[in-house]
Each structure stands twice: as structure tokens, then as C-alpha cells.
């Protein structure tokens, strides 16, 4: 097993009862065999940390949501406050809620020091260059917080054109200071994701919801050539278990140890945590 400790750029609580789960989880669980049992089991604080330790997950970005079903945010923020050496919070927001979304980001950043904002095209059904997103992009620049956007055909059975990464070309042009992290694979537009990262300085990619053995080949090639500073590991736990990710990461081939370290921890520390990875 690799000795490099992992920073996981996308983790979720596993505390929701079936009645409290978003409807789209049912479709996701159909696509990812074994997820149903993992979610149904639930996870206590002790279990969560034990699973991280077993897989060598040193730190992680834990997602809260403005919707806050069944005390979701209370659990997230308690974990972050009680274990600041292990967790920092991210916040999912829906930009179609207008200024309510902006005020929520401001409040959560002030009160809980959120490190990442998330938007999901498959939920808004709007491409990322739609004006509804623009106030949120500006607020992220003002707060110096990166934003993650799901790209590629979504798992839930909803239209996916809204997650075409080409919309980010105009976003990166109009908001050159905005740090954007493409999440959830980008397929079948993964090669386009790479082209856009080559073009835009502050455009990045995380591997959330893709088992390491299924990371698109175009992204792996980019990681091992010109993109060592642009691609970071993420699990989307509990969609994927920490143990499975660790096992598959240890079978990945990297150009050298520096690329491995940047992928597993350094890039997330630099882009999301605002810390030096020792190579910059």
C-alpha cells in the first residue's frame, strides 16, 4: 500500500434515513452496485473516522446543503468543529434561489468557514454559463472559495445537456479569477475537460463518483503529462467506499511519486484548503 496519505475532495454524510434521501439517490444506487446497503447501514462518527483511517484518508471535504434534511448540516458542522484536523465543510447551493443562495453562502462562510461551494447542473437543469449562476461566481471570487460543478452525463434519470463542460469556457473567460473544479467524470466530454484545463489557468478536475479504475483515460494521460497540478482525488463517499478507492488507487500507475502525491493530496490542499503542497 502506498504510504501517501489521501485528502478526499468530496465526501458526504451517511446519516439519512431512507425517507430523508433525495429521490435521485435511488437511481444512483441502481447504477452503483452495493451502494444501497452502504447507505442503509448508516455511519456513526466513530465508524466514519475508522473507515477513513483504515483507508489512509487523512483529511476530507464534507458536504453540507442549504436544504438541510433531517439535521444533515448539524452533523456536518459538528464533525468539522470537533475534528478540525480531519474535516472542512463544503456547501451545496441552488443558484436558482437567487439572493437567498448568496446570503446562505455568506452566512455559512462566516459561521463555519466553508472551503468549497457546489452547484449541480442536473438539479438546476441550467448550463453553467446561465446568468443565474453569475452572482454566485462573483461571491466565490470575493470570498476566495472555489466552486465545483458536476460535468458529464448525470447518473440520475434527468436530462444531461446542462452538464456539458463547454459552458465553462465562457465562465472561465468572464471570471478569470474564479477557481472551478469539474466533478463527477465529465463523460462523454472528458477529452473536452482536458482541453479546457489546458486553456484556463484556474480550471481543475476531481474524480468524485468515479472508481479509480474507471477514471477516463484522457484524464489519466493528462494527469501524468501536463496536468499533474490540475487533477485531484475524490470519492463521493458513500457512493464509493473508502476501502474500494484505496485499493484501486494503489493499483494506479503514475509517472512518478510527485504526480501521485499531487493527485492524492497536494492539489486538494492547494486549491481547496489554501495550503501549500510542498511543491509550489
Would you kindly state where each structural domain of the chain is located, as residue ranges?
6-273
Q: What is the pLDDT of residue 44?
A: 84
6-273: CATH homologous superfamily? Metal-dependent hydrolases (3.20.20.140)
Distance CA 88, CA 62 (A): 6
Where in 96-190 does DSSP place strands (E)? 116-119, 147-150, 180-183
CA-wise closest residue to 183 among 160, 215, 214, 152:
152
Residue 169's Cβ-count burial label (10 Å; 0-12, 13-18, 19+) is middle
- Predicted confidence at residue 57, as pLDDT, reads 98
> Strands 231-232 and 203-206: what pairing?
parallel
Kindly report the pTM of this predicted structure.
0.91
Q: What is the pLDDT of residue 104?
A: 95
User: CA angle 201-230-111, nearest 5°?
Assistant: 85
> Which strands form 147-150's sheet, in the order they lie side by side?
6-11, 57-65, 87-92, 116-119, 147-150, 180-183, 203-206, 231-232
**13, exposed or middle or buried, with CB in 10 Å at 0-12, 13-18, 19+?**
buried
Phi-psi region of 42 (alpha: psi -120 to 50; beta: other; left: phi over 0): left
* Grid cell digits, residue 233: 482525488
Phi, psi of 191 (to 5 degrees): -65, -35
Say if residue 85 is exposed, middle or buried (CB neighbours under 10 Å; 0-12, 13-18, 19+).
exposed
Extended strands (E) in the chain: 6-11, 57-65, 87-92, 116-119, 147-150, 180-183, 203-206, 231-232
Dist. CA 253–CA 146, nearest whole Å: 28
Nearest of 277, 274, 211, 201 to residue 239 by alpha carbon: 211
- Quote the distance between the C-alpha of residue 244 and its chain's center: 17
Instruction: Give pLDDT tens digits along the chain (280 positions).
Output: 447 899 999 999 886 544 444 444 444 444 444 444 555 567 788 999 999 999 999 999 999 998 776 678 999 999 999 999 999 999 999 999 999 999 999 999 999 999 999 999 999 999 999 999 999 999 999 999 999 999 999 988 999 999 999 999 999 999 999 999 999 999 999 999 999 999 999 999 999 999 999 999 999 999 999 999 999 999 999 989 999 999 999 999 999 999 999 999 999 999 999 997 555 5
pLDDT for residue 38: 58
Give the pLDDT confidence score for residue 43 in this predicted structure: 79
Give the span between the Cα atoms of 128 and 119, in whole angstroms: 9
Contact predicate 197/205, CB 8 Å: yes
* CB 208 within 8 Å of CB 236: yes
pLDDT at 56: 97
The whole-angstrom separation of Cα 39 and Cα 269 is 28
Amino acid at each position: 500500500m502506498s504510504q501517501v496519505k489521501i485528502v478526499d475532495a468530496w465526501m458526504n454524510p451517511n446519516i439519512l434515513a431512507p425517507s430523508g434521501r433525495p429521490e435521485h439517490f435511488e437511481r444512483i444506487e441502481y447504477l452503483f452496485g452495493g451502494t444501497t446497503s452502504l447507505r442503509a447501514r448508516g455511519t456513526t462518527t466513530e465508524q466514519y473516522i475508522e473507515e477513513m483511517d483504515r483507508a489512509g484518508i487523512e483529511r476530507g471535504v464534507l458536504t453540507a446543503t442549504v436544504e438541510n434534511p433531517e439535521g444533515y448540516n448539524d452533523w456536518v458542522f459538528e464533525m468539522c468543529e470537533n475534528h478540525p484536523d480531519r474535516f472542512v465543510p463544503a456547501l451545496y447551493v441552488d443558484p436558482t434561489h437567487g439572493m437567498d443562495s448568496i446570503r446562505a453562502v455568506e452566512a455559512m462562510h462566516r459561521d463555519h468557514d466553508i472551503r468549497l461551494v457546489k452547484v449541480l447542473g442536473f438539479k438546476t437543469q441550467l448550463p453553467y454559463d446561465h446568468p443565474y449562476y453569475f452572482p454566485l461566481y462573483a461571491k466565490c471570487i470575493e470570498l476566495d472559495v472555489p466552486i465545483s460543478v458536476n460535468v458529464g452525463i448525470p447518473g440520475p434519470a434527468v436530462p444531461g445537456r446542462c452538464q456539458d463542460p463547454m459552458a465553462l469556457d465562457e465562465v472561465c473567460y468572464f471570471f478569470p479569477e474564479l477557481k472551478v473544479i469539474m466533478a463527477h467524470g465529465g463523460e462523454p466530454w472528458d477529452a473536452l475537460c482536458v482541453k479546457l484545463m489546458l486553456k484556463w489557468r484556474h480550471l481543475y478536475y476531481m474524480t468524485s463518483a468515479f472508481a479509480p479504475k474507471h477514471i477516463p483515460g484522457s484524464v489519466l494521460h493528462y494527469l501524468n503529462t501536463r496536468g499533474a497540478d490540475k487533477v485531484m482525488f475524490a470519492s463521493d463517499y458513500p457512493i464509493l467506499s473508502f476501502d474500494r478507492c484505496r485499493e484501486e488507487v494503489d493499483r494506479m500507475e503514475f509517472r512518478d511519486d510527485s504526480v501521485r502525491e499531487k493527485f492524492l493530496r497536494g492539489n486538494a490542499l492547494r486549491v481547496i484548503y489554501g495550503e501549500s503542497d510542498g511543491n509550489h
